[in-house]
A and B are shown apart, each in its own frame.
Chain A
Amino acid sequence: MTNEIIIAGFGGQGVLSMGKILAYAGLMDDQEVTWMPAYGPEQRGGTANVTVIISDKAISSPVLDVYDVVVALNQQSIDKFESKVKPGGILMYDSYGTHRHPDRKDIRILPIDAMEATIETGNSKTYNMIVLGALLAARPMVPVESVLKGLKKTLPERHHHLIPLNEQALRKGMSLVKEA
């Protein structure tokens, strides 16, 4: 099973970190993973995106042009990547601030209210974990336990007290996706 994913949004939304956490979860789950950021001007403000591939086979190209799942966190990303979802794939987007909604009929379109859910938590830093939770509910490519294991491994010990907060955010995100 191979999952080819792109996560796109504004710089600062935690797009690259979310991809990193997902890639670490793949590593914890003994899968092959690649994480390829658009590291250009994006990193210096503006839009950012990262391609994550998780597979039980060796991964050839880390660069793709169509994806199983697109996670679009702003209007520009919806516009740019809607056509790049493979038929039968998933386009997940945050409906906050979106004025043109995707309209393809051959893919699963999943609007989520991640921004509103984040505001409810009162901690804006949990945004990307909420989105990751929603992604994993829509496409359970790695178990939640692997995400938590990955966090524990990569976060310095002094930040380990934040893991429960991240787990809550993850689970809140999962609840945003209703079964199709």
Chain B
Amino acid sequence: MSDREEEVRLMKGNEAIAHAIIRYGADGYFGYPITPQSEVLETLEEQMPWDTTGMVVLQAESELAAINMVYGGASTGKAVCTSSSSPGISLKQEGISYIAAGELPALIINVMRGGPGLGTIQPSQGDYFQTVKGGGHGDYRLIVLAPATVQEMADFVGLGFDLAFKYRTPAMILADGVVGQMMEKVQLPVQRPRRTDAQIAEQCPWAITGRAESRGHRNVETTLEMEPNKMELNNHRFQETYRRIQENEVRYEEYYTEDADYLMVAFGSVARICLKGIELLREKGIKVGLIRPITLWPFPEKIIREVGQKTKGVLTVELNAGQMVEDVRLAVECKVPVAHFGRMGGIVPNPNEIVDAFYKEFPEAK
């Protein structure tokens, strides 16, 4: 992870993302405005990084154009990214599938809002299935990072880019409107230089750089194979990458799990609201723990199994109708009851609602 500056700033999660993109030494951002993440593009435009690092910031004519600019930029080994919110991310799915099939590194940021459809502009986590289980067509996976603080919004830009380049696969920051819009303290990463053409040629030997002669062979970027046997081999290679990611990149945070009689599982801003709810429950002597998956894929199933199976029950809290709960049930192998509490359409529950939902599911805990 990049070093952080000494200075402590106060800013919105979306603004922190924009600053972190510039400071990573990214080569390009291509976006199209949509609430609740428009500050990403706005902040990039304000900062004018084209005058400092030489980074390209472009408001495309549509989400489709933006994601395909990312596809093109990534093919040349450049560090490129885009951001949007739920309906815009749906539009980008075809491009994301192509980027995954092309084994290209790219960073995509989704600051989720209520859906389905045009939905609302308020916070949601309704895109868990879309992000973690597919979204676009074909057997591919995204590395999915779920920030809960403005600091993580900044930190996960660098982490997301690093993982994307390490595994040559797209990574997504799956945030929600709460972390996008709230302000809190943040230490931004220190400014890194953009990579030189020579560094890109060395680090990304697969990149299309227009230098076939000096390389001795042509690099071709395609996601199409006419031979099914070849395409199956490609798929085996993708799956091998995903297996390595699952082995090495699981991230999560645990709170109060040592003595927990019950467990909550929640990600993003909701995990913080759960934590406050858990503190209220603990004041009453009810021992509840929390696991906050940081990577939604690869999913931290081992720790949820280990901790969850020792409890009397698990409650997932999500801003949706029950999506991650399916992965939590698989993780604990249905050995203990796993319940779900969710609000939808842009409504964010408060800590007391979570306490009430816990009592409703586990009345014997009282």
Where the two chains meet, the residues of A that have a C-beta atom closer than 8 Å to any C-beta of B are 20, 23-24, 27, 32-37, 39-40, 59-66
User: Contact: A60 with B185, CB < 8 Å?
Assistant: no
Q: In the complex, which of the residues B10, B346, B349, B353 has the most CB atoms of chain A within 10 Å of its own CB atom?
A: B10
B187 → A minimal CB distance (Å): 12
20 contacts between A and B (CB under 8 A): A20-B183, A32-B184, A32-B185, A34-B182, A35-B183, A36-B183, A39-B36, A39-B177, A39-B181, A40-B120, A59-B184, A60-B273, A61-B273, A61-B275, A62-B182, A62-B272, A63-B273, A63-B348, A65-B353, A66-B352
Q: Which residues of B contact A20 (CB under 8 A)?
A: 183
Q: In the complex, which of the residues A34, A35, A59, A62 has the most CB atoms of chain B within 10 Å of its own CB atom?
A: A62
Q: Which residues of A contact B349 (CB under 8 A)?
A: 63
B16 lies within 8 A of chain A by Cβ: no
Closest 5 CB pairs of A and B: A65-B350, A61-B276, A35-B183, A60-B275, A61-B273
Q: Which residues of A contact B122 (CB under 8 A)?
A: 39-40
B8 lies within 8 A of chain A by Cβ: yes
Q: Which residues of B contact A64 (CB under 8 A)?
A: 350-351
User: Contact: A33 with B184, CB < 8 Å?
Assistant: yes
User: Contact: B269 with A34, CB < 8 Å?
Assistant: no
A46 → B minimal CB distance (Å): 14
Within 8 A of A (CB), among B267-290: 269, 272-273, 275-277, 279
B178 lies within 8 A of chain A by Cβ: yes
Q: How large is the interface on B (under 10, 10 to 19, 20 to 34, 35 or more residues)?
A: 20 to 34
In the complex, how many residue pairs between chain A and chain B have their CB atoms under 8 Å apart? 68
In the bound assembly, the distance between CA atoms of A39 and B35 in angstroms comes to: 9
Where the two chains meet, the residues of B that have a C-beta atom closer than 8 Å to any C-beta of A are 8, 10, 35-36, 120-122, 177-178, 181-185, 269, 272-273, 275-277, 279, 346, 348-353
In the bound assembly, the distance between CA atoms of A27 and B178 in angstroms comes to: 20
A94 → B minimal CB distance (Å): 25
User: Contact: A33 with B185, CB < 8 Å?
Assistant: yes
In the bound assembly, the distance between CA atoms of A36 and B177 in angstroms comes to: 10
Q: Which residues of A contact B273 (CB under 8 A)?
A: 60-61, 63
Q: Which residues of B contact A24 (CB under 8 A)?
A: 10
List the A residue with the shortest CB-CB distance to B11: A35
Q: Which residues of A contact B276 (CB under 8 A)?
A: 60-61
Q: In the complex, which of the residues A27, A63, A64 has the most CB atoms of chain B within 10 Å of its own CB atom?
A: A63
In the bound assembly, the distance between CA atoms of A39 and B121 in angstroms comes to: 8
User: Contact: A36 with B352, CB < 8 Å?
Assistant: no
In the bound assembly, the distance between CA atoms of A62 and B350 in angstroms comes to: 9
User: Contact: A40 with B121, CB < 8 Å?
Assistant: yes
User: Contact: A63 with B350, CB < 8 Å?
Assistant: yes
B353 → A minimal CB distance (Å): 7
Q: Which residues of A contact B10 (CB under 8 A)?
A: 23-24, 27, 33, 35
Given A23-B183, A39-B36, A61-B276: 9 more A-B contacts, CB < 8 Å: A27-B8, A27-B10, A33-B185, A36-B183, A37-B182, A39-B122, A60-B279, A61-B277, A65-B353
User: Contact: A34 with B350, CB < 8 Å?
Assistant: no
List the B residue with the shortest CB-CB distance to A154: B10
Q: A27-B10, A36-B182 are in contact. Are A65 and B120 (CB under 8 A)?
A: no
In the bound assembly, the distance between CA atoms of A163 and B350 in angstroms comes to: 37
B292 → A minimal CB distance (Å): 11
A156 → B minimal CB distance (Å): 12
User: Contact: A60 with B182, CB < 8 Å?
Assistant: no
In the bound assembly, the distance between CA atoms of A79 and B302 in angstroms comes to: 48
Q: Which residues of A contact B182 (CB under 8 A)?
A: 34-37, 62
B213 → A minimal CB distance (Å): 52
In the bound assembly, the distance between CA atoms of A40 and B120 in angstroms comes to: 8
User: Contact: B183 with A34, CB < 8 Å?
Assistant: yes
Q: Which residues of A contact B346 (CB under 8 A)?
A: 40
In the bound assembly, the distance between CA atoms of A64 and B349 in angstroms comes to: 9
Partner of A35, one of B120, B184, B272: B184
In the bound assembly, the distance between CA atoms of A40 and B36 in angstroms comes to: 9
List the B residue with the shortest CB-CB distance to A31: B185
List the B residue with the shortest CB-CB distance to A30: B8
A29 → B minimal CB distance (Å): 12
User: Contact: B351 with A36, CB < 8 Å?
Assistant: no
List the A residue with the shortest CB-CB distance to B276: A61
In the bound assembly, the distance between CA atoms of A68 and B251 in angstroms comes to: 35
In the bound assembly, the distance between CA atoms of A168 and B323 in angstroms comes to: 53
In the bound assembly, the distance between CA atoms of A39 and B279 in angstroms comes to: 27
Q: Which residues of B contact A36 (CB under 8 A)?
A: 178, 181-183
User: Contact: B269 with A62, CB < 8 Å?
Assistant: yes
User: Contact: B351 with A65, CB < 8 Å?
Assistant: yes
Q: In the complex, which of the residues A61, A63, A65 has the most CB atoms of chain B within 10 Å of its own CB atom?
A: A61
Partner of B184, one of A39, A40, A62, A65: A62
Q: A33-B10, A33-B185 are in contact. Are A63 and B269 (CB under 8 A)?
A: yes
A22 → B minimal CB distance (Å): 11
A12 → B minimal CB distance (Å): 19
Q: In the complex, which of the residues B121, B182, B275 has the most CB atoms of chain A within 10 Å of its own CB atom?
A: B182
User: Contact: A27 with B185, CB < 8 Å?
Assistant: yes
